[in-house]
Structure 1
Amino acid sequence: MCILTKICRLICNVFLRSVTEVLLDMVASGAELGWLTSPVEHGWEIGQWAVNGSLLYNYYICNVEEREQDNWLRTTFIQRHPTVSRVFVELRFVVRDCNSFNADSLTCKETFNLYASEADADIGTAFRKGQFRKVATIAPDEISSLGEMKMNIETKVVDNLSRKGFYLAFQDIGACVAIYSVRVYYKTCPATVKSLAVFPETVAGGENQALREVAGSCVSNAVSEDQPRIYCTTDGEWVVPVSQCQCRPGFEAMNDACQECQPGFFKSSVSSEACKLCPENTQPSGPGAISCTCKDGFYRAPEDPKTATCSGLPSAPQSLVATTAQMSIGRLQLSWRPSVDTGGRSDIRYAVVCERCEGRVCQPCGEKVRFDPSNTDLKETRVTVSELEPHLNYTFTVEARSGVSQFSNKRATSSINTALHYTDPPKVTAMHLVDSSSTSLSLQWSVSHLSKPVATRYELMFRKKVTNGKVTTYTVLVLEKNSVQISDLSPSTVYLFKVQALSPEGNPGSYSLEQEFSTLPQASQKTGNTAVILGAAIGGGVMLFIVVVVLLLRKRLGTNQLKPLKTYVDPHTYEDPNTAVLKFASEIHPSHITKQKVIGAGEFGEVYRGILKLHGRKETAVAIKTLKPGYTEKQRQDFLSEASIMGQFSHQNIIRLEGVVTKFKHAMIVTEHMENGALDKYLKDHDGEISSFQLVGMLRGIAAGMKYLSDMSYVHRDLAARNILVNSNLECKVSDFGLSRVLEDDPEGTYTTSGGKIPIRWTAPEAIAYRKFTSASDVWSFGIVMWEVMAFGERPYWDMSNHEVMKAINEAFRLPAPMDCPSAVYQLMLQCWLQDRSKRPRFGDIVSIIDKLLKSPDSLKAIADFDPRVSIRLPSTSGSDGSPFRSVAEWLESIKMSQYSENFSIAGIVSMEQVLQMKSEDIRNIGVRLPGHLKRIAYSILGLKDQTSTLSVFAV
């Protein structure tokens, strides 16, 4: 009775947390169910027991010693909701281990089948098997032995319902099974407010309508350009809201409603933004304000938004000066310092006004005077003025202006008066040759003495002298002193020179008389015979080196070409698929195979653990895939095609095919048995127990296996931790080649699918968008596998829907680093997830990188940045339904740490308030020792507190 009480409590607790719409509940009925059995005798039987004053019922059968069993159990008529096309069937059952019976029970099974049939009315006790369609084979996760009951929970989907109601039926073909609970329910997307739009409760769609579009309406004081829409998924979740509503001006979003802006705040447009505090230099606003008025003396420019601060006028420019420009006549430069007070604006511009004065009469300078770059809209604090006349007085006024200057009559100006006076340059009196060579001339000249010394520069012009009437151009040099050395001249050539002096203002004097000076003849040179001989010797040596290198390369290439290159052969290219099976797989007689236990159910039938005993070999543990009865020829060919693929591979990190059974009625595929099963489940069961070094070693094995496949021009298409198997030595092997396809001859070729499902969370974006698969897309998938391994089997992208995952990836989102993940490993993940597939590393590169990390364990000590609320999606304040956690057990279950429920209970921690007071030492003291588990619980408490500053409290 103790075992039955536990079962009852388990069933009832789960049902209390359900938020779905239930159509049938075997436990909650609490009365005779009236289900139909066929045959009536020796078939399914009903049992009952009393728990806490209530009667609970179950159906059981155990005809394991009789052959050809076909026992049916049919429910009563289940009414269907008019809009429901998809229901979920949750089963709780116990299956007894066939090994617990005597040896004569050879017909014992460890599975049973679920069927469904639709009808428009209750047909009573009429029952025909042909009216039912098979839904699924029910295989237990745990098998019960004598005296020990292990409850199994399975949920299956019945889809495409269209009539007024339906029946469910359970077929037994020789198992010892008891069904304790059957619950039939459908899911709804609850009435909700999303993005200020109200959406009604909606029944979730079925397989033919995976996303059901629902129209909504904006809340009060909210608007939307288009009618708000959202999609209801088959799991009863709202996703992909379209045309979101936004609050009107003067209103902000708060608690799923649009509320008036408070006094002193404003909002000027239709947007999702919150109301803003009135900016500086404005008057306080009233409630629901759409803008704030400027104070007196402050303004907004016409182009300023209503949210901008009001600005004052700029002050006048400072320190205006005028400087005579060098090397130019009638030119000066005005410069000034910026305004000290900008009025709070950054668009300060300057304008320059020029007036010329003769005596006391001043007038505008006119268009003759030029300004560079301009006399208006100046950003820089300088301007060059040209075309000025000498010996006149000029007044220049500079005004500072901003975008709000137009609203005031006040002007911010500075003025300066200046006049231009020129100095006559000195006169060049003599020029003479100082030195000469075959390619250069050194010259010097003197000038007349002035009464007042001035800084003088010179302009020198020279050209070749010619006698055949050709015209040669002058070369002009501006010099700071009265001497020069000119190089790069031609030997034995006459050159003509003349020079003039320049005043400080740039006013030129008169040129000196043109004078002739000659370069010397070219010096005699030794013959170049030595250089020619040396060059020939070097050239000959280079040619000899090239010949030797070419011969060596040819020899090496020739050696490599002798090695055979194995490539993959697609079994689908064979006209008769059976030929491919015989070519690549060994035939095994069924007498050499012993089935021991069901360990799973594949796409085509049950999977057993067993023993293979061949002549000359010791007994070997194997996994046996079977083909379910009633198969079609196409199903048989598809089933055996995986063996045709596996049989071509021979690598320690690829699952090994032992052989096939094809010449007998029951086809089988026999592979090596991997003791620790699928990698994702193994990691979840050993969370925190494996070191980073071991995890990276496991990744190395997967990468080596994938390198082998890619070298054979083969793409996997379904690389994920669930398809990696682990043996007792923690050696990982790639398996499950159901989605795999061969590449074309081109290593960069692709395989295009014509349909079928794609594992979105593991698939590269180009493969999702265009169904183009390459080894580069397998590299992307390997990056996801790396994340799964370092996160101990965490689900990639957590509870995000496939649509949310695709949208996030296209917006450049990448999975964050898992907890305690080495930085070097996470950087390799990011390389695998590069958008441009040509830039992703190849599997050969990945193996080399991982080998370097394993040879240098210190490289794994640097840990990547980790944010617990992003990286492991821990709940912050509530459960999955948005309500606060009702118990410590519920919270622990949400973070997958239910195994510590008893630890918390024994320690007297029975409320969430007590949990929030715990520290790292408290968690250790109640018996949580594994570092990974300790951190997960500590980070969850941190998430519950939502205080990032306390992160150090939970450092482990």
Structure 2
Amino acid sequence: MSRGPQGSVFISLMLLVSVVLFQWEVVQRTLNGSQFYSYSVCNVGEREQDNWLRTTFIQRRPAASRVFVEIQFIVRDCNSFDGASLTCKETFNLYTSESDADVGTTFRKGQFKKVTTIAPDEITSKNDLRINTETRVVENLSRKGFYLAFQDIGACIAILSVRVYYKTCPATVKSLASFPETVAGGENQALKEVNGVCTDNAISENLPRIYCTVDGEWVVPVGQCQCKPGYEEVEDTCQECQQGFFKAAASGDKCEPCPANTQSLKSGALSCPCMDGFYRSHICFLLSPLRKLVLSWSPPADTGGRNDITYSVDCQRCESNVCQACGEKIRYEPASTGLTDTKVLVSELDAHLNYTFTVEAHSGVSLLALPRSKPPSTSALTTSLHYTGEYPPKITSMRLVERTPTSLSLSWDVSPRPRALSPPIRYELNYRKKDDNLGMTTYTVLKLEKNLVQVNELNPGTAYLFRVQAFTGDGGNKISLIYFYCFLGHLPQNNTAVIFGAAVGGAVMLFIVAVVLFLRRRKRNSHTRQGPEDTYFSSSEQLKPLKTYVDPHTYEDPNVAVLKFATEIHPSHVTKQKVIGAGEFGEVYRGILKAPGRKEVAVAIKTLKPGYTEKQRQDFLSEASIMGQFAHQNIIRLEGVVTKFKHAMIVTEYMENGALDRYLKDHDGEFSSFQLVGMLRGIAAGMKYLSDMSYVHRDLAARNILVNNTLECKVSDFGLSRVLEDDPEGTYTTSGGKIPIRWTAPEAIAYRKFTSASDVWSFGIVMWEVMAFGERPYWDMSNHEVMKAINEAFRLPAPMDCPSAVYQLMLQCWLQDRSKRPRFGDIVSLLDKLLRSPDSLKTIADFDPRVSIRLPSTSGSDGSPFRSVSEWLESIKMSQYSENFTCAGIVTMDQVLQMKNEDIKNIGVRLPGHLKRIAYSILGLKDQTSTLSVFAV
């Protein structure tokens, strides 16, 4: 083996030895002046071709259960052969077989399982040689090694090379934690958790860990290590503090220089002791930029023979030559009195103030002294200091100065701060018009030098949202957001404008009259917009969108689109709790959002992985710009975004049950048809809302539907979505990229043109997924086979126990002519009628176990029987019952064929759906003529 790039390990396999060679020939060719050898077969004129080529034994690393097979090959165009169009093929098949030992030249086709059918992207003509490169994945390997085999069924093909490799996350050091090389997981373990070890002289409260993705990338480090006291981080190592520097605690901070009147005589110092002569009459202190300081002192030179010495600290704060007690605001650790150690931590200091600290030493006899006298057993020392920590501006109030029907003047106050020591303050005022509909129609930003502004050219009778931000003139962070809603209109002369606002971190003050007027207006508008077509909508869906979806990609600056359609969240209001998945741009967390004035809510947090490009950041945030335009109970709700800080985040509502396909697989057979149709109704309602906004999703699938704890389904994942043209029949033509073949309409695959009608086709596939409890559409057929079958008018069969009316609706969604497919409004109406008449769901569509159960009677295309009961159960997704069969003594397939329904119940299969699946599969096993196919419409 030789190590390759990007954490992958490659096994060199050039088909130098072939132990099975039926009709294949070793051919020497010349390409670009270089000679190479290939394995070729070209019997296109003969029928019933079955030519096999097998590799030598490939040993497998125990942890590598998932390998990649990269094949370079050439396929000849069948049209270049005269008279062979009926027998010539342009594809070949890839098979695999596992083994614990090399079987030599022994070859049995029944031992091989089909991986996929491989088709070329480019076909070679007589005079034009085209080399194709395809990569396929072989999953769930468990034995010591395996073989690969290639089956030709009548093509003219040459295999040039084969490379087999698996991916690893390389050994690395992240956040001072060392992680070993780790083999990437498979489809059942997308994120493999790996524990690490802190590097030398680093420690961590929690065990450091990280996740290895299936692509061989490290993501989401957890439990950061920090350098020990006396050490600082230097290029992923912890090195001792230099002489004259110190670090008192384990942290990510750098070593700090010793303050005045202190010294450090050696490297790796934890503290800097006071120099000789600086005790008794002076305090040696360390000033921290974090509003903290450490006071330390030397004990009295003469204790009078007492060993019960304690200390107390008193604080005075002085401002404008006026001093007063610091009060309860100042915090002391461990305390301000009764101290037995000669140091104390003082925190919660205010910037730019003078503080005077007095430390007194006490002994047991101090308590006997008169209150107004200083006993000999009490000594005191005093020092003053000026604290100059960060002093951010803070907006304390906002006022309406003057108003007209089309303008207003606002002013605001800022907390006092020492002007001589502080940079100037600047302000940013944002305001936008907020209407009764989904979006904001205007967004204006004003840069201001003063805390006063006049805003003109406002629309009468319109609500505006104002926000002011203060920041230091040197470009410091913006803080102290204050929001104001201002309703303008022709009010009576004596009336005051209605203004209500909310300061970040403070309470929200709402003016009751304004709210009542706003809600009445909203209610009145909702009645005027409702039409006959909304008969089947619930009350929360009655507000039809009045505004067409706006594509954020049309904005010259994508950041403007994000600001327009999404609410900015401060990262301190978001708490990450647990990794629940990995998206295209980074990890997804479950977390908590606690915004000012709102109760705490559970959220999902999408993050942008480190090292992103600006293009990736814009693409990441564009999804938020899309979601922010939608407001529907069956569309995932955007809570807000974090864009103004280093780590961008998208925060959405949290859906407890996760993706619909996985949820249905985990609860196979547990829901009635009525419940499943209810889920479909919610999805259809969400899609109707999108189509009414002239919006096409392009990636509608059960994996992109999320489920909450009340089984309410919501459409999500708008990464492939694009806007339609103004014409309801308009299309969007992509410029490349991946298309989810199994869910995509044929016209979208062929011409890359997408409409709401193509979304309807995808909804039909989602209906099939739901009624089949998360089964993979078209089972293990390759994308090439799926496209061929659809073009030949084949359609998926009815799932087991699927109501006939539901299956007929699926077939309508899959009509070849897109103009004849139902619209989402029609689909919602029909599903509502079915739900109002549950008896209509009792008529079950025809079901054939030979078709609907994946690989019901064979383990390979050659018709050989299953080798074991566990293999058969795995093929029908019932592996959880393997132990039940074993305990009942049913260990051979012959015994399985003798089982009746009562026998299946007796071994512990209770769920009706599982009982039927096993029973139907046994029925299919008994039919020796069964084959894997799909029904034609």
Greater CA radius of gyration, 1 or 2?
1
Range into which the TM-score falls when normalised by the shorter chain: 0.3 to 0.5
TM-score by length of 1: 0.45
